[in-house]
Amino acid sequence: MTFKATYLGSNGWIIEFKKSRIVIDPWLIGDLIFPLGGWFFKGTLKDEIPTPEDIDLILLTQGLPDHCHIPSLKKFPKKTNIICSKSAYKILDGLNFKSINIMQPGENLKFNEIEIEATSGAAVPQIENGYILETNDGSFYIEPHGFLDNTIKPRKLDAVITPTKNLELPIVGPFVKGADVIPNLVKLFNPSYILSSTTGGDAKFSGILNSFISLEEYKKALDCKILDLDQMQSVVI
């Protein structure tokens, strides 16, 4: 019972179960620019990432551009199924995808062989989504900002996809809490693997906001493996 995870960089992943191929939060082409403009915060890919083929499901955790990236989503066939947060659904309006399901924290949905549970994620400012996916092939939890829903029931999962570093701003404090949340994730899910996400990949960032961001890593030993994959590197869980 295994599944394959491929890191696309930043928040993006391809997950391959026996019957389903999923892409999560893909940023494949073009720049990443937040509403205030490139002067404030801008991400630039080193190289365009080939659009994954034969995708059964696009899973979107948030409506922010680094999770719901319109130029990248336009690369996928309109017949591709999408499951997303409420804020992501608003961004998707007008892209003409045929099947979009909004999930809110606490809701459950079955897609093919996969049981999907939406959990509460980061407030940016609206509450966004994390997800738990469970199949006979394997199981994992993903939330890209290190915000843990305290209503989740403990269970054994094969992997957790999470940031493993804190990203902090002066006065504001951490807005990505990877280093802080890891001990709680291990206690809750007892995973065999932690897959480091959010802060990796080959993208370069600029803008005034980027100059104020500081990084704190998680340094303590754990009873599971932390994998910090390179962009387009895969692992079989």
Q: What are the beta bridge partners of residue 119?
A: 130
Q: Is pLDDT at 1 greater than 70 in this prediction?
A: no
| HSE toward the beta carbon, residue 121, CA cutoff 13 A | 31
Question: Which one is predicted more confidently, 40 or 140?
Answer: 140
- Which CATH architecture does the domain made up of 4-236 adopt? 4-Layer Sandwich (3.60)
CA distance 89 to 85: 6
**Alpha helix locations (H) across the chain?**
70-73, 86-92, 178-189
Output the pLDDT for position 22.
98
- The tokens for 78 are 């309109």
Q: Tell me: pLDDT of 71 over 80.
A: yes
Looking at the predicted structure, is the pLDDT value of residue 217 above 70? yes
Residues 6+ apart with CB under 8 A from 190: 156, 157, 224
Backbone angles phi, psi at 216, to 5 degrees: -125, 125
For 3-37, the pLDDT digits (tens) are 999 999 999 999 999 999 999 999 999 998 877 77
Element (H, E) at 8: strand 4-9
Q: At residue 167, does pLDDT exceed 90? A: no
- E strands, 106-172, in order: 108-111, 114-123, 127-134, 139-142, 159-162, 165-169
pTM: 0.95
| pLDDT(218) > 90 | no
pLDDT digits (tens, 9 = 90+) for 113-157: 999 999 999 998 889 999 999 999 999 999 999 999 999 999 999
Taking the CA of residue 187 as centre, how many other CA atoms within 13 Å lie in the half-sphere pointing to its CB?
8
* Residue 47 phi, psi dihedral angles, 5° rounding: -140, 150
